[in-house]
Amino acid sequence: MSFDPAQTGHHRSNRAHRSLSPSWADRLSDLTHPGWARTLAARRVLAAALVCLALALLARGDPGSGRSAVVVAARDLQPGVVLTDADVDLVEFEAGSLPDGAVTALSDVNGRTLAGPTRAGEALTDVRVMGPRLAAAAAGMDDARIVPVRLADPAVTELLREGDRVDVLTVDPGTPANPDRRSGATVLASRAVVVLVTPSENGRDQRERVVMLALPTSDATTVAAASLTSAITVTFQ
């Protein structure tokens, strides 16, 4: 086989001309048949992109894990309502938007008494229903109880609102009037917190309305016992 210097020079000239002024066909050929260096660079870029995607997915986590089912009011509810399944729904919320103490099971509120007015769609918390959490939150201490009383004067009951602080008094019917003791009045408890006044219903005797008071356990026991035998009233603070 003979070696033709002229032909070799011609090929070199063509390659030089192609590299200096490539045609569209040449460029397409380069893209479809990349060199080793270009292939390695492309693989590195792809690997870096996959790593970034994996880190982003790891930081985001499972989309479903950031949501929780919470008990909400199915309709506008009045205070004093005894909750049933028809009054509440389970709705998913973003975990970061939930209030503290949000109730997550229907069984936790079924049969419980609602302590305040609640709008449809509002999430229920442990202090929105009657129970130890509400007593502790209202009285400002863990050792607290809620005691129901019927006041001697229904007009006073009409004036009470949730959150009012009152002193609880009684007058022993057998105690004669004594100016020094203010006609025999006895203070049973101080700074009781009104957590609920049962609503007035059509045809219902106003004297049957009940006032729920949050008190320290010892005071709650005293008030509950006195309410069985004596007339109870309150004074506002």
Each of the 237 residues of the chain gets a pLDDT tens digit; together they read: 554 554 545 444 455 445 556 666 666 566 555 565 566 667 777 788 888 877 776 666 555 557 888 999 999 998 888 999 999 999 998 877 788 889 999 999 999 999 888 999 999 999 889 888 899 999 899 999 999 999 999 899 999 999 999 999 997 655 554 444 555 688 999 999 999 998 876 656 667 889 999 999 999 999 999 999 999 999 998
At a CB cut-off of 8 Å and minimum separation 6, what does 70 contact?
90, 91, 92, 93, 98, 102, 103, 104, 123, 124
Nearest alpha-carbon partner for 209 in 222, 200, 219: 200
Average pLDDT, the chain: 80
Q: How far is it, in rounded angstroms, from Cα 112 to Cα 120?
A: 17
Residue 225 has a pLDDT of: 93
Q: pTM, whole model, 2 decimals?
A: 0.62
Q: Under a CB-based contact definition with an 8 Å cutoff, are residues 235 and 221 in contact?
A: no
At a CB cut-off of 8 Å and minimum separation 6, what does 178 contact?
184
Which 3 state secondary structure label does DSSP give 219? helix
Residue 33 has a pLDDT of: 58
Q: Give the position of tokens 């292939």.
A: 39
Angle at 167 between CA 193 and CA 134, to 5 degrees: 15
Nearest alpha-carbon partner for 167 in 232, 225, 80, 231: 232
Query: What φ, ψ does residue 92 adopt, rounded to 5°?
Result: -85, 135
Which 3 state secondary structure label does DSSP give 110? coil
Burial pattern 120-147, b for ≥16 Cβ within 10 A else e, equals eeebbbbbbbbbebbbbbbbeeeebbbb
- CATH topology for the 62-129 domain: Type Iii Antifreeze Protein Isoform Hplc 12 (3.90.1210)
Q: How many residues does the chain have?
A: 237
Which 3 state secondary structure label does DSSP give 156? helix
Residue 121 has a pLDDT of: 92
